[in-house]
Each structure stands twice: as structure tokens, then as C-alpha cells.
Chain A
């Protein structure tokens, strides 16, 4: 295993963690957007 390959493997760990966090934040963001829309709708009713 070359040094470059080891570096790539080590790099994959924070990269996967970051992608997980990023998409998790996007999901929360979208869910809140929906909730806020529903709230506005309820207020208008």
C-alpha cells in the first residue's frame, strides 16, 4: 500500500462524516421549511 493510498483511506473518514452531516442538515432544513409553511397556513386559516 502506497503512502498516497493510505492518505486517501484516512481522508475518506472525515469526508464520509462530513457528507453524512451535510445531508442530515439538509433534511432538517427541508423538514423545518415544511413545518414553517404549515404554521403559516394554519395562521391564515
Chain B
């Protein structure tokens, strides 16, 4: 029995050794900017409680106002994500016209930005609703900004549904979703910039643009919060794009194996 099994074991061992020699296993080091994201976000959380003082005019001596360090960056990022998604979608369409190679990387980047836009839009809605509940006495007031963020959520959700509906046809999915991301830019920008300025809103509009409106203790936390959230967005987007590329590679390999087996 031992003589029957030994050649198989040796073959497996040989394969293992040869694979280990051929695959370059580079050690993983945490990139500095990712470590920095962790540090800045931790600073923002501690700073929200111990650096920023209670804001004047807010309910319960400004205690509720601490949520703005998370709500405002999420809301700003949800609109920036749309621009990122639009940029890569437009680049995908332009490359599709000019180049023969399918520029799927731009499609993945656009999709990742839109997915994250949906996530941050949802977080902004939830944190905003909690803030409204404490500050204005009701969790939902149909304020123009509240209404526009719901429509933005629907715009993002439609994009995700469009992609999911065409998941079996990657080329059609990429083309349709890129066209949607480009076309929906107009209503998205109208909702973000125009609606809150046309209609009367309870939301403060000059807090960030007018430096006299925000105290130094708030600036010391709010500005790092923007940096931390932007870095987190870049990190999440990078992970998502890498995941999509690995998945595509895996799918391609599986398809090739199936074709070889069939022959």
C-alpha cells in the first residue's frame, strides 16, 4: 500500500515546491496613508467629544452638534462620489469609441464610486435624521435638503439596479451604466446645489463657506474629519476596484477551464 501511495505524495510535494518557487510572495506592509486614515479618524472621534466645545444655538448645549463631524463629510462625499463616478463613466465611453480594447477598469472605478456614493448618501441621511430629531424635534421634516437627499438615494439605487439587472452581460452593463452615470449628472447637481438654494431650508447654508460661522475648536475637528473621510473613501474605492478585478480574473479563468474541459 505504501508503495502505491508514495509516488502520488511525492508528485504533490514537488508541485507544491515548484509553485512556491514560482509565485513571488511579497510581504504585506501597511501603507502610510492607510495608517494615517486610522489615526486621523481616531483623532476626529476623540476630538468630537473633547476638543470641540458645545455649539451656540444648538439643542442641549451643543451636545447633539457633535454628529455634524460625521454627517457633513458623509453628505459632501456623497456628492463628490457622483462626480468621480461621472468622470470614469465619461472616460469609459470616450475610450470605448477610440480604442479597440474594452476599458473595463474605468467601468469598475465608476461603479465603485457610485456604490460608495450610495453608502455615504445613506449614512448622511441616517445621521441627518438623528440630528433633526434632536435639533428640530422631528426625525423627518421634508426640508428641501432632506427631500433632495432621498431623490439622490433613488438615483444611486437606480444605477445599482441597472448594473445588477445586466450582470450576465458585462459589456452591455458597462455601457448602459456609464451612459446613466453621465446623463444623471444633471438632475444630481440640480438636487445638490440648486434645490436648497431655490427653496427655503432649515439647514444652515453658510457654516462652511463663512469662516466667522464656525469656532476654532470646531474647525480643528471638522477639517481633519473631511481629510479622514476622503482617505477612507479612496481606500474603500481601491478595495472595491481590486475586488472586481480579481473576480473578473477568476470568472475568466473558470470560463477558460470549462472550455478546455468541454473540448
Chain A contacts to B: CB under 8 angstroms: 7-8, 10-11, 14-15, 18-19, 22, 25-26, 28-30, 32-42, 44-45
Contacts and interface: CB of A to CB of B under 8 A. Distances in A.
B243 A32 contact: yes
B187 interface: no
Contacts of A44: 22-23
Contacts of A15: 42, 45-46
A36 to B, nearest CB: 7
Contacts, number: 62
Nearest to A29: B239
Interface of chain B: mostly helix, strand, loop or mixed: helix
Given A22-B37, A22-B41, A32-B243, 4 more contacts: A26-B34, A30-B28, A37-B25, A45-B19
B141 interface: no
6 contacts: A11-B45, A22-B37, A33-B28, A41-B22, A41-B23, A44-B22
A32 B67 CA distance: 33
B28 to A, nearest CB: 5
B235 interface: yes
Contacts of A30: 28
Nearest to A32: B242
B152 to A, nearest CB: 24
B204 interface: no
Interface of chain A: mostly helix, strand, loop or mixed: helix
Contacts of B26: 33, 37
Given A11-B46, A37-B24, A22 B243 contact: no
B19 A41 contact: yes
B142 interface: no
Contacts of B243: 32
